[in-house]
Amino acid sequence: MERPGSMKKIGFSGTQMGMSDEQKSLLTSLLRNLKEKSGFSTLIHGDCIGSDSQAHKIAKDLGFKIEIFPPKVSSKRAFCGEGDDIIHDKEDYLVRNRLIVDSSDFLIAATKSSKEELRSGTWSTVRYARKRKKKVIILSAK
């Protein structure tokens, strides 16, 4: 049972290469349905170039609130934050990814491949979410 007044939050992690058109379309439909049918209101992401910035725009266009856990390394940062977005202190990638999972009700991951990769921040975030018993939806590129 959801506590009165608490927001339902979706965590997001994705590849720096960006999402395919199919992944963006799936994410748009998924976020729209979660907002309209299940009352989700906030998208949390890590403010990296590629998928995070694409998810940010899609969620904003759908009227989501945005919460950002930016990385300490700014060379791959998208600097998406604006207006009423919540922007947390910068953290190392691993810490930031765990904060995204721990702050959300479940995780959506946009991966390069449907096959799990060991040296991937997105897949590392998926593994952590599963370890924390969070639901994970994977949108894999073809």
Residues 86-141 have pLDDT tens digits of: 999 999 999 999 999 999 999 999 999 888 888 889 999 999 999 999 999 999 88
Does 66 reside within a domain?
Answer: yes
Whole-number pLDDT of residue 6:
59
Does 84 reside within a domain?
Answer: yes
Does 100 reside within a domain?
Answer: yes
Does 15 reside within a domain?
Answer: yes
Cα separation, 140 vs 14, in Å, equals: 10
CATH of the domain at 93: 3.40.50.450
- 5 pLDDT more than 70: no
Does 61 reside within a domain?
Answer: yes
Q: State which residues form the domain around 117.
A: 8-140
- 4 pLDDT more than 90: no
Residues 21-39 have pLDDT tens digits of: 999 999 999 999 999 999 9
Residues 8-22 have pLDDT tens digits of: 999 999 999 999 999
Q: How many structural domains does the chain have?
A: 1
Residues 72-90 have pLDDT tens digits of: 989 999 999 888 899 999 9
Spell out a b/e string for 66-83, using b for 16 or more CB atoms within 10 Å of the CB, else e: bbbbbbeeeeebbebbee
DSSP label at residue 104: S
Does 59 reside within a domain?
Answer: yes
